[in-house]
Amino acid sequence: MGVSMATARMWVERWERQQERYAVDREERFTVIADVVEHTTTGRDHPLLLDLGCGPGSLAARLAARFPHAEIVAADMDPLLLELGRTHHVDAARYVDTVIGEEGWTDVLALQRPLDAAVSSTALHYLPEQALLRTYRSLASLLRPGGVLVNGDHFPPGAAPCSALTAHVGRRRSERTGGPAEEDWRSWWEAAARDPELADLLDERGRRQAAHAGSGGDEEMTVCRHAELLRRAGFAHVAPVWQYGDSAVLVAVMDDARGGGAPVGP
């Protein structure tokens, strides 16, 4: 079910353009995530990084370019996006097919040492709250003392008027910095469905979606709620480090001695 390099390049480039609709200042967000990783891994020769919900390797490729000596593991459940990443960003990461948040999902990662950082961009918001809490707990067990989880995503305010306001600010920012891409998420997938080279991968994707129907969603939890879950999962310190509209980068830090972040609650 592989794809050619030319096909992978074309679809990844189109993916990059359409994703600009969904992450305000997307490149700046990626850069901020990398800045946090840089701060966390200073003095470490070969940091170990995990990219959660990696898609076709957009964030992994940028991290690999900035940290050429890092070992990067990129995880996703989408067979098409994973194959595009493996082909187009072949040297960026070791790509792993796993369903984040499900029982045993971290075993498939085959990590040989503690993580220095786990990162994600516009990928965890689909997890229901209990699955997200399980995921945060799993990551807390994988990170070294002082390691970080860096999550760039949409974190709307709890109050509807404020949520509408932050969404408007984000849209206006996108318009000022180049306007919306011609292709959106839905039309990208519709176009991909017409490419015969992707047919087998799309069939497999459809089977997986059917098997996991009803297990996802779009929770749109606030930063405060994420912070509560992260502290329950074992992270000692949680804070947003960048925000524009409702697009933010949230950082959770493991206690250096593993003492100040003990999990609490069910």
Domain at 5-213+228-253, CATH class: alpha beta
pLDDT (tens digit per residue) in 21-38: 877 889 999 999 999 999
pLDDT (tens digit per residue) in 114-173: 999 999 999 999 899 999 999 999 999 999 999 999 999 988 887 777 778 887 887 777
Which of 108, 109, 143, 138 shows the shortest CA–CA distance to 124?
A: 138
Would you place residue 53 in the very low, low, confident or very high pLDDT band (cuts 50, 70, 90)?
very high
Contact 140, 115 (CB under 8 A): no
> Does 55 have pLDDT greater than 70?
yes
Phi, psi of 149, rounded to the nearest 5 degrees: -110, 125
d(CA 250, CA 74): 19
pLDDT (tens digit per residue) in 89-114: 999 999 999 999 999 999 999 999 99
Q: 53 by DSSP, 3-state: which?
A: coil
- What strands lie across the sheet with 71-76, from one edge to the other? 94-97, 71-76, 48-52, 115-121, 143-154, 247-253, 237-244
